[in-house]
Structure 1
C-alpha cells in the first residue's frame, strides 16, 4: 500500500505585472496528484476558480523537508492563526483560531467555549447582526447561516478580524477590564476594542426584582376615584406608595401619600415638604411599613400616543427608584383605556425601572433638558450607549421597563378619611365628621387610617405620641383612654 505524503506547494502567481508567492499544504498518494489538490486548496483559501492556467509556476516540496530556512519570508500555513471578533450581549470579545482553513463551525464553537466560557449547546452563531435582537428561541431559529456544524470557516468568507454575532442562553461572569497600567508619559495605548468595552450597553431586563405587587383595594380606589371623578384624567396626579416587602420579593401597598404637587397634561411636579415627609416617615415606621413605590396617572391626551411611558415619566420614575435604594421598588401607572363597549375603564399597570436605567440615572447619562419637539417615546443620553449592535444617544423607553404582576388585597388600614394636599383642605371638621360616621366601631378601627394619622401627627409629639398611636393601630389593640379624649377634643374644636 502506498503511503500518502504531505507536500508544501510553492506557487508563483502573476496578476497585473505583480508576482505573488504562496505556500499551500497538500496531502497526496502520488506526486502527480499534487497539482490538482493544490489547485483546489488554493481556490478555497483565496477564493479563485481552480484553473491551472493561474499557476504559472509551482514546485512540490515534501512537508518533512520544509523549513523556514528554505523560505525565510514565508510562514508555515499549518500554523496560521486568525483572530475573530465575537459580539454578544456582553460586548465585543476576541477568540483566536489556529488553522482556520480547516476549522469547522463545530470546532469554532468549542474554541468559544474554551476561550469565553460559553457552553457549546447554549451558542447560536451568525454573521447577521440581527441575531442580537432575537427575543425568543423561535426567533433564533431564523438564523441558519452557521447552523451546519461541518461547514468550514472559509465557506463563510471570514477573514482576520471578522465579526461574528453570538446569542447564548444562561448567565456567565465576564472578566472586567485590567487595572490601568501606565506605559510612558501618555499612559496605556487604547484600542478600539478597549473603547467599545467601556461603552454602556442597554439591554432588556427580562425578570423584575419584585415578584408581584398587591394593592389594598381601598387605597387604590381612593386614588383612582379622585383622578377619574374630580380631575377627569385631564391633568397628572401622583403619590408615593407605602407598605411591606416580603423576603420573596412580594410588595404590598397599603396606603398612598400624595405630596403637594402641580400636574399638567404632560408634567407632574412634586413640591416636596421635608417637614411633612418627616411625619409620614414616623407614621410609616410605627406601622411597620416603608416606602415601596411611585404611582402616577397619565392624562387622556396621552392615550393616543405610541408609548408606555414618556421620556419625562421615565426620568421621574428613575429618579425616585434611584433615591429609594430599594431593589423591589415599583412604579405604577393609572390611565383610562377604551373597553369593548367603547366605554372607558380605569387601568392599573406596574413596572420596575431596569437596573441599567437606574444606573444610567445615577451616573448622569440621561439628558434632563427635554424639549417640546423631542419624541416622547425616546430617552436621550448625554453620551453614546450600545443598543443591540448600534451606538445611539436615543433609547426606546420600553427598554427600561420590566413588567410586574398586579394583585389586590384587603389591607389593615381604611382609606375613607379625606386625603391630604388635594383641592379641598383637610380641617378638624373632617376629623369630627369621620369620628361621628364611625362611632359604632372600636376606637382603634376609627383611627386606622393613614391620612387621619397624618392630621393627628401635626398636633402630637413625634417621638412619643405618634409611636404610641401607630403601635395600637399596627397591633389592633385598645387605644389608651387619654389619647381617645385628646383626639375627640381636637375634633370638637371644629
Structure 2
C-alpha cells in the first residue's frame, strides 16, 4: 500500500503494510524512507498544516497527534495524502520539486497548488438560463417517448440565440445521423448536411448553442447524473463550440408521485475545469466495460479535495442551469431529418396543402422544412436569403415560391 506525503519539498511516496498500522509506525516509515527523524515530524490530514508558522500553530493539528491511532481510523487508504512539516533540513533525492526559476527556495502552499490540477465544483454557470421553444422541445421528446420508448439514446444540436446577459434561447433542434443503444450514442457527423444547417441558422440570425440527448429507462436505474461516456461527449461538443454559454441538456423519464412516468428536462454547463481537462487531453477516452459509469478517469493525478486521484465523480463537472420555455418564431410540424423514416418530397406537398390558408412565409417557417429545401438551393446565396425571409417574416420572392411548389409537386 502507498501513501502520498506532501511537505515543503513537494509530493513524495511512502510504502506501508496497510491501513492497520499506527501513526507511530507511519512516522518510523517516513524516517526510514524519507530520512526525516521521527521527533522532527508533524503529520496531519489537513493541508493547512503546511501553512503553520510557529510551534503554537502546529499544536492546532491534533488528528494524528496520538501515536497509537490506526490509519484506518483516519480514513487513510491506498493513494491518500498525508501532510508533513518538519524541523531541520534535508537533501531531497530524485527529481527536483522546485518550479522553474525558484531553485534554492522553499515551496509555498501556492507553489504546491499551482503544480496540481485541482477539480472543484463550479458554483455559477456562464449562462443565466436556457429557454426552450415549447414546440421544438415537445417534438424532440415526443419522438423519443412515443417511437423509441426511451429504450435507445437520441441526441441533437440546439440552435438559437444568446443575449448579452447570457440568456440562451433554443428555437430548433437539428438531429444529425446517429446510432443509439441503451448505453451508448454515436453521432455520425455529416459535414455537408451541417453546412446546410449552419447556412439556415445564419439566415435565421441564430447559432449553435448546445447539445441535447436522452437517457434510457435502463440508465434511470443507475446512480449517476451523467455517465462517463456522456461527460466525454458533452465536453467534446462544448469544447468544439468555443461558446462559454454552451448548454448541455438531458431528457429522461422519471416516476412521479402517482407512480406514472413523466418526461423530465435537465440543463447543465460543463465546468470550465472539465473543458480545460478535455482540451488538454487529461481524460482517459478508452472506457473499460466494467468501469464505474459515475466516475471519469484521468491520465494523470488531479486534486479533488485534499486527495490526488485519477477518478473524478462526474457531478464535479456539472453546473446546473435554470430552465424556462417560450414560444419561438418557428413551427415544428414538418418531419424531422435522420429519423427512422426518411423525409420524402411528398411530405413537402402534404405540409404546403395543410397550411395553404397561411401566408407563404408562414408555411415555410420550419427549420426541418428549410433543411429539406436547402438540398436543392445554392448554399451561399439562396439558403441564407430564404431563411432571412423567415426570420424577418417578409414576403418570399415569387421565384422561390414557384421553385418550392415545383419541388412539392415532383
**TM-score per shorter chain, which class?**
0.7 to 0.9
Q: For 1:467 and 1:380, locate their aligned partners in 2 and report how far apart those are by CA, in whole Å.
A: 43
Q: For 1:481 and 1:126, locate their aligned partners in 2 and report how far apart those are by CA, in whole Å.
A: 82
Deviations 1:130-181 (A, max 9, x none): xxxxxxxxxxxxxxxxxxxxxxxxxxxx99659xxxxxxxxxxxxxx99833
Q: For 2:357 and 2:61, locate their aligned partners in 1 and report how far apart those are by CA, in whole Å.
A: 72
Q: For 2:277 and 2:100, locate their aligned partners in 1 and report how far apart those are by CA, in whole Å.
A: 24
Q: For 2:219 and 2:377, locate their aligned partners in 1 and report how far apart those are by CA, in whole Å.
A: 43
Deviations 1:222-241 (A, max 9, x none): 00000000000000000100
Residue equivalent to 1:209:
126
* C-alpha displacement of 1:341: 1.3
Q: SS at 2:118's partner residue?
A: strand
* C-alpha displacement of 1:93: 6.6
Residue equivalent to 1:267:
184
Q: For 1:453 and 1:395, locate their aligned partners in 2 and report how far apart those are by CA, in whole Å.
A: 43
Q: SS at 1:303's partner residue?
A: helix
Q: SS at 1:334's partner residue?
A: strand
Q: SS at 1:300's partner residue?
A: coil
Q: For 2:205 and 2:98, locate their aligned partners in 1 and report how far apart those are by CA, in whole Å.
A: 46
Residue equivalent to 2:245:
328
TM-score, normalising length from structure 1? 0.65
| Structure 2 residue corresponding to 1:395, chosen from 292, 312, 330 | 312
Are the counterparts in 1 of residues 50 and 84 from structure 2 also a CA contact under 8 Å?
no
TM-score, normalising length from structure 2? 0.77
1:455 is aligned to 2:372: yes
Specify every segment of 5 or more residues in structure 1 that has no aligned partner in the other structure, as ranges.
1-81, 106-124, 130-157, 163-176
1:384 is aligned to 2:301: yes
Are the counterparts in 1 of residues 98 and 107 from structure 2 also a CA contact under 8 Å?
no
| Structure 2 residue corresponding to 1:300, chosen from 217, 233, 258 | 217
Are the counterparts in 2 of residues 85 and 95 from structure 1 also a CA contact under 8 Å?
no
Q: SS at 1:356's partner residue?
A: helix
Are the counterparts in 2 of residues 259 and 272 from structure 1 also a CA contact under 8 Å?
yes
Residue equivalent to 1:228:
145
Q: SS at 1:283's partner residue?
A: helix
* Within-5 A mapping of 1:52-71: none
| Structure 2 residue corresponding to 1:431, chosen from 330, 336, 348 | 348
1:337 is aligned to 2:254: yes
Structure 1 or 2, whichever has the larger Rg, is 1
Are the counterparts in 2 of residues 244 and 251 from structure 1 also a CA contact under 8 Å?
yes
* C-alpha displacement of 1:372: 1.0
* C-alpha displacement of 1:295: 0.2
Specify every segment of 5 or more residues in structure 2 that has no aligned partner in the other structure, as ranges.
1-41, 65-82, 88-96
Are the counterparts in 1 of residues 176 and 188 from structure 2 also a CA contact under 8 Å?
yes
Residue equivalent to 2:91:
none
* C-alpha displacement of 1:207: 0.6
Are the counterparts in 2 of residues 86 and 95 from structure 1 also a CA contact under 8 Å?
no
* Number of residue pairs aligned between Structure 1 and Structure 2: 340
Residue equivalent to 1:150:
none
Residue equivalent to 1:375:
292
| Structure 1 residue corresponding to 2:334, chosen from 417, 420, 424 | 417
Residue equivalent to 1:468:
385
Q: For 2:62 and 2:393, locate their aligned partners in 1 and report how far apart those are by CA, in whole Å.
A: 65
Residue equivalent to 1:154:
none
Q: For 1:404 and 1:127, locate their aligned partners in 2 and report how far apart those are by CA, in whole Å.
A: 41
Residue equivalent to 1:180:
100
* Within-5 A mapping of 1:131-150: none
Q: For 2:98 and 2:352, locate their aligned partners in 1 and report how far apart those are by CA, in whole Å.
A: 67
